[in-house]
Amino acid sequence: MGLILYQYEFCPFCAKVRAKLEELNIPYEAINVERDPNDPLRKEMRERSGVATVPVIKHGDVWLGESADIIAYVEKHKEELKNVG
């Protein structure tokens, strides 16, 4: 079960999350989302994660926003996140 990172390439909070994932050697798929808050994927992210900003991660049924919370989550689950087939 892989990690998906919803982001903007030039968002500094997203860059912080990418740097942490790379430091921990966690594979992930980065999806560059639309800037439009009415975009269907942006709406789904907002509803599932409870935050309106990027970055947001999806890991199975877990949706999480806020870069500090995401970093805490990947630190905590790093072994599981590294071992995706």
Q: Which residues bind ligand GSH (CB under 6 A)?
A: 8, 11-13, 35, 37, 53-55, 66-68
Which residue number, 35 or 61, has a Cβ lying nearer to ligand GSH? Answer: 35
Nearest-5° Cα angle at 71, 2 to 77:
50
The SS3 call for residue 6 is strand
Which residue number, 21 or 54, has a Cβ lying nearer to ligand GSH? Answer: 54
Which residue number, 44 or 66, has a Cβ lying nearer to ligand GSH? Answer: 66
